[in-house]
Amino acid sequence: MATGRINVTADNIFPIIKKFLYSDHEIFLRELVSNAVDATQKLKTLSNLGEAKGELGDLTVHVDVDEKKKTITITDRGIGMTADDVEKYINQVAFSGAEEFLKKYEGKMEGSEIIGHFGLGFYSAFMVASKVEIKTKSFTQGADEKGTHWICEGSPDFEMKEVKKKDRGTEITLHIAEDSTEFLSENKINELLKKYAKFMPVSIQAGEKDESQKVSAEGEEDKYETVKVPNIINNTQPAWIKSPSELSKEDYDKFHEELYGFTMDKPLFNIHLNVDYPFNLTGILYFPKIKPNMEIQKNKIQLYQKQVFITDSVEGIVPDFLTLLQGVIDSPDIPLNVSRSYLQSDGNVKKISNHITKKVADKLNDMFKNDREDFQEKWNDIRVIVEYGMLTEEKFYDKAKKFALYQNEEGSFFTWDEYLEKIKENQTDKDNNTIVLYAAHKEGQHAYIEKAKAKGYDVLILESPLVSHLMQKIEGDNQNVKFARVDSDLIDNLIKKDEDRVSKLTEDDKTKVKESIEANVPKEKFTVRLEDLDSEEPAFTITVPEFMRRMREMQATGGGGMYGMMGDMPEMYDLVVNSNHELTSRILNEDDGDKQKSLITQATDLAKLQQNLLHGEELTNFIKRSYDLIG
């Protein structure tokens, strides 16, 4: 028997592990099980190279909970360790067995999956255990040789002695501490294994489970009985490690269900990632149906390394706009710190992010070119992702211009270049600006849309929460192109032509009626403006100035430039008065102040009603007043 102190640079590594290296105590199970899988993968590699002799036998990793003894045991039949190995890889914490193994066999292995970081990963056991025992025997040792038994009670002191052990491999027993007894629940361990080990490349068994099996013979009445069967946690061959040519749409849908469970909303389509140079990256990304309000997504992209789950916080690896997607990314080239918990800054991360962006853009462009009709049907479900990407990733914006779609109020779809070509001749104003008219709500802004159509103009329906930001970007990239919402001004002011308009009223009359109206509407909310319009146009029209409305919308979704620092944007409207309407003349010539006020209030409320601005007490008073007028 030997005793000694663990060779660490700090006086006591255990508080450091608990407080700093691993903030989440459940990680211990991931580390220990991945070590067991790692040892098994190494054995397979050595067997393939002819360096490990004999039959490999059953290589299943076992995780067993004994609630009475308050222990958790992880057992593998991998390469195991000699006493010297234990001294090197356990007692000298700084070493990593996987790193040395890879260095030794570099160039000799094809696709071997070595997870690694045994040293510090192993010590995560002390986050939940007051005592840890290792019983291990190397594949290099003979049947008559004894194994090694290592014992440590959470201090730098350890005990090491020989032990009878029949088979190769390693058995790690954790004596669970009083403050971590929640991990003695089989259900809890199953839950954690499903989270971290669901796709590890070696079978993992966590006890047994009940299964109903048919026992009746053919031709007899069906009879079933419940039997105990191994509770295998993981799928060792997940879809993302296979070639796309091996997988059907049903296979991809089935894997999505394996990741997130059954859902009524099947993914629209997927992108299979498979890169081995200049970095290793595999994975499957799914495009879900994204709701227009961009609600927080429950099913996030999961990051794996060598089929070991790391995190579902993939910011930095996946561009922001693609965090709305679902699926899996697996790469050994994404650098993590020693606890595998946090991303570290590295050039590979940016390369991987750029590659994923390119793959997504290329996939969308191919879909658009190969089956435009199908792409148009999916457009409203993927539009938010594409628009978000156009705003945040310049390279994606350049590619997306070819396939991003814009739908007009008649339901037709256009690319940006197609739409500009369609409207350029008719919707270019006297200053040579091409005006893109749009509405946010087809029904709510129906009257304004109809006025535009009466002039022969086309109107886009832009209802995305990102539309204000996107318009700013498009206007910045396209000289002499301006967006204008159909209710932001009178249609003749939105697309100004060289036309002279006359008024029935003199300038003095205009001043007088303007003052009368201003005296009866809230000045802080409305700017009164007289316009010389056709007498058939409404007497009063409320418009929302494009600049103010757009800034307010941009602020609501984050942004708005310097206006984002100004607090809530005020609600300001233009009250446009038609100087040629008969009602305007009546207001001008009405001597009775109360009657004049009633006419102004009624006309203003009608204009508010058209803009959906009449609510509560104002709406109640309007209805009563309307009945009085016709009664």
Give the domain ranges of the chain. 2-208, 239-375, 405-494, 507-544+570-630
pLDDT of 114 above 80: no
Q: Determine contact, residues 439/460, Cβ cutoff 8 Å.
A: yes
pLDDT of 560 above 80: no
Q: What dotted CATH number matches 2-208? A: 3.30.565.10
pLDDT of 270 above 90: yes
pLDDT at residue 397 in the model? 95
| Residue type at position 604 | T
Give the domain 239-375 fold.
Ribosomal Protein S5; domain 2 (3.30.230)
Is 129 exposed, middle or buried (CB count within 10 Å of its CB: 0-12, 13-18, 19+)?
Answer: buried
Name the band, by pLDDT with cuts 50, 70 and 90, for residue 311.
confident
What's the whole-number mean pLDDT along residues 340-354?
Answer: 70
Quick count: other Cβ atoms within 10 Å of Cβ 3?
Answer: 10
Query: What residue has token string 């260095």?
Result: 103
The residues facing 211 across adjacent strands are 227
**Of 101-110, 214-223, 272-281, 288-297, which range is least confident?**
101-110
pLDDT of 110 above 90: no
Top-tier CATH class for 405-494: alpha beta
pLDDT of 424 above 90: yes
What's the whole-number mean pLDDT along residues 108-112?
Answer: 44
What's the whole-number mean pLDDT along residues 243-262?
Answer: 93
Task: Give the best-scoring range by mean pLDDT among 61-70, 268-277, 486-495.
Answer: 61-70
- 34: closest CA among 233, 227, 253? 233
Q: Determine contact, residues 541/581, Cβ cutoff 8 Å.
A: no
Name the band, by pLDDT with cuts 50, 70 and 90, for residue 334.
confident
What's the whole-number mean pLDDT along residues 245-274?
Answer: 91
Name the band, by pLDDT with cuts 50, 70 and 90, for residue 232.
very high
What's the whole-number mean pLDDT along residues 417-438?
Answer: 93
Strand (E) or helix (H) holding 224: strand 224-232
pTM for this structure? 0.76
Q: Which residues lie closer than 8 Å to 276 by C-beta, 6 or more apart? A: none
pLDDT at residue 481 in the model? 93
Q: Tell me whether the CATH fold assigned to 2-208 matches the one assigned to 405-494.
A: no
Is 98 exposed, middle or buried (CB count within 10 Å of its CB: 0-12, 13-18, 19+)?
Answer: buried
Within 13 A of 609's CA, how many CA atoms are on the CB side?
A: 15
- In this structure, what token pair is assigned to residue 326? 């679902």
pLDDT cut 70: percent of the chain above it: 85
pLDDT of 338 above 50: no
Sign of the torsion angle spanned by Cα atoms 46, 49, 51, 56: positive
Residue 355 and residue 195: Cα distance in Å, rounded?
A: 27
* Residue 335, phi then psi, degrees to nearest 5: -75, 135
**Of 39-43, 222-226, 517-521, 593-597, which range is least confident?**
222-226
Residue 593 and residue 601: Cα distance in Å, rounded?
A: 12
Size (the chain), residues: 631
Q: Is the peptide bond before 278 cis (omega within 30 degrees of 0)?
A: yes
Mean pLDDT of the chain: 85
The 3-state DSSP class for residue 369 equals helix
pLDDT of 452 above 80: yes
pLDDT at residue 295 in the model? 54
pLDDT of 234 above 80: yes
Report whether CATH 3.30.930.10 matches the domain 507-544+570-630.
no
Q: Helix %, strand %, coil % for the chain, to 5?
A: 40, 20, 40
